Amino acid sequence: MRTVYLADHSVVLALPAFVPAFIVVGVIVAMVVRDRRRGDDEHDDQPFLDEDEMLDEDDRQLDESTDDRGEDR
Amino acid sequence: MTRILAHGTGEAAAFPVDITYALIGGSWALAISFLVLAFAWKTPRLDPAKHWAVLPRLTRFADARGVREALGVLGLVLAVGALVVGFTARHQHDNPLVGTFFIWLWVGLVPASLVFGPIGKVVSPVRTLHRLVCTALHRSPARGLRPYPSWLGRWPAAVGLFAFVWLELAVVHKGVAAVAWWCLAYLVVTAAGAIVFGDRWFARAEPFEVYSGVIATMSPLARDASSRELVLRNPLCGLSTYRTGAGAVAVIAVLLGSTAFDAWSATHRATGIPARTAILLLFVVVVGVSFWLATMAVGGVTRERRLSIPGKMAHTLIPIAVGYLVAHYAKYFVEDGQEVLHSWLTAFGADEPAAWTPFTDHPTLGSVLAVAAIVVGHLLAVVAAHDAALRILPKRHHLTGQLALMLLMVGYTFTGLWLLFGG
């Protein structure tokens, strides 16, 4: 069988494709590093759930998923 | 020999601009949107409890016993009919079983679940059969011989979905008999599971019901959590209702990895079922493991909490998976879907009506739709991931905790488009 390639694109294209993504990573990392050095980083005023609460939440989700209510039409 | 799902070729030739621009543009769009979100979207907004409107009349219609029974019986009759035709028909060509299974069921569940919600469970033939038998025996469908073990989660569904994509993509040159035997094996396994674990088995382990449920998280039609009435909502708000727990990532990794393999195998002809099986599995594992690692690349969390993040973020991959499904299957749904109807008509001796073939007539339509679906799917995934990160990551790590995932999603976009256009 003969395979005809309609288009051939080298993976090198991935380099320009990723440039903005790496710039974004660089910008955000630079900002975070600067903020942390300055030390005016806000505290975790809203720490996400602590360990016990998280376990409770997992249990709740398990419970929810086990009671199998019709949720469709 | 029927090979109904040959991958649609010609996307690259039909795309109106040089696809290099699509590859780079899609990837750039993602990075730029992430930057905008980082500065403009600072509190979680996608609350699954929010909705636009309540639909009481539609709820009454959808909950009517007659409607549900009719849809269930329709699914059952279609499944039994397709199996009978599959095992008995002499003609391999145009056998309705193959089209009904691959096009109406697998491809059709995508638009049906996007519009109507998790409809897979309503039309599921084994669920209907189980319910009818339980009613006849005067037992509750929920009762099984043993409780469903919670550690198993949705792993059986992930395995079932892999078995399906294996038949669809890894088994080349499959005859009708192979499909018929697969369906029979599926019926036996699903029925056995329901007998042992009760109807909870369907919600956790039945591949097509789980598949429909995954897609339905993006439906604008949903149930209000407390009143159970049907509501219209922002489709992105439903994503986080995707259940966490064992197998949550695996189910989506199978969907995503298999579409990537589908695109790849259109131009790379690995022959032999063992080789294709191994490569298909590799695609799925790479997608799953890369997501698992990228979501855990977060600072300031304990080990246990870190391990829980991939499951809590798994829903962010759903828009990507749906984007690929639309990109790959739109043509099959519209054009091959009609052919399946025609194959049923000819099986009963009727004439074939003329087919409507917009994608064949206008190849540009298909290629533009495919690129748009993939890019939009990834953009929605970045939005969903950002919102989820605001909800579940510690505040100091809201942005840095998403960077690895953002890079991964740019990688998925590029690879997805690159594979679609033939590498």
Q: Are B221 and B117 in contact (CB under 8 A)?
A: yes
Q: Are B348 and B301 in contact (CB under 8 A)?
A: no
Which residues on chain A place their C-beta less than 8 Å from a C-beta of chain B?
1, 3, 5-9, 11, 13-14, 16-18, 20-25, 27-29, 32, 41-42, 44-48, 51, 54, 58, 61-62, 64-66, 68-73
Number of alpha carbons in the 13 Å side-chain half-sphere of residue B212: 28
ipTM of the complex: 0.73
Token duo for residue A40: 């005016």
In the DSSP assignment, the letter for residue B300 is: S
B227 CB within 8 Å of a chain A CB: no
CA-based nearest residue to B382, from B95, B133, B37? B37
Question: To the nearest whole angstrom, how far is the Cα of B182 from the nearest Cα of chain A?
Answer: 28
Whose tokens are 């986080």? That residue is B240
Token duo for residue B245: 């727990």
With CA atoms as reference, the chain A residue closest to B72 would be: A73
What is the structure's pLDDT at B93?
65
With CA atoms as reference, the chain B residue closest to A33 would be: B400
Alpha carbons A43 and A51: distance in angstroms, whole number: 19
Whose tokens are 């600067």? That residue is A34
In the predicted structure, residue B217 carries a pLDDT above the cut 60:
yes
Mean pLDDT (chain A) is 61
Identity (one letter) of the amino acid at B383? Answer: V
Alpha carbons B78 and B96: distance in angstroms, whole number: 10
Facing A72 at nearest CB: one of B117, B199, B396 = B117
Determine phi and psi for B419, rounding to 5 degrees: -65, -40
Q: Are B373 and B323 in contact (CB under 8 A)?
A: yes
pLDDT digits (tens, 9 = 90+) for B262-303: 888 887 777 788 999 999 999 999 999 999 999 998 887 888
Question: To the nearest whole angstrom, how far is the Cα of B320 from the nearest Cα of chain A?
Answer: 18
Token duo for residue B390: 């605001």
pLDDT, mean of residues A39-45: 53
Give how far Cα A33 sits from Cα of B102, B130, B197, B259, Å. 52, 59, 53, 39
CA-based nearest residue to B406, from B29, B42, B30? B30
Determine phi and psi for B54, rounding to 5 degrees: -95, 140
In the predicted structure, residue B210 carries a pLDDT above the cut 90:
yes
pLDDT digits (tens, 9 = 90+) for B314-351: 999 999 999 989 988 888 888 888 888 888 888 777 77
In the predicted structure, residue A54 carries a pLDDT above the cut 80:
no
Q: Are B176 and B86 in contact (CB under 8 A)?
A: yes
For residue B232, the SS3 value is strand
Number of alpha carbons in the 13 Å side-chain half-sphere of residue B128: 21
Whose tokens are 């599959």? That residue is B86
> Residue A40 — pLDDT band, cuts 50, 70, 90?
low
Alpha carbons B277 and A24: distance in angstroms, whole number: 38
Residues near B51 by beta carbon (within 8 Å), at least 6 away in sequence: B222, B224, B231, B232, B233, B237
> Residue A8 — pLDDT band, cuts 50, 70, 90?
low
pLDDT digits (tens, 9 = 90+) for B235-258: 999 898 888 888 899 999 999 999
For residue B240, the SS3 value is helix
Q: Are B406 and B31 in contact (CB under 8 A)?
A: yes
Alpha carbons B297 and B66: distance in angstroms, whole number: 50
B121 CB within 8 Å of a chain A CB: yes
Determine phi and psi for B53, rounding to 5 degrees: -155, 150
Give the lowest-confidence range in A19-23, B12-16, B49-53, B408-412.
B12-16
Residues in A touching B410 (Cβ below 8 Å): 17-18, 21
CB contact under 8 A, A71 and B38: no
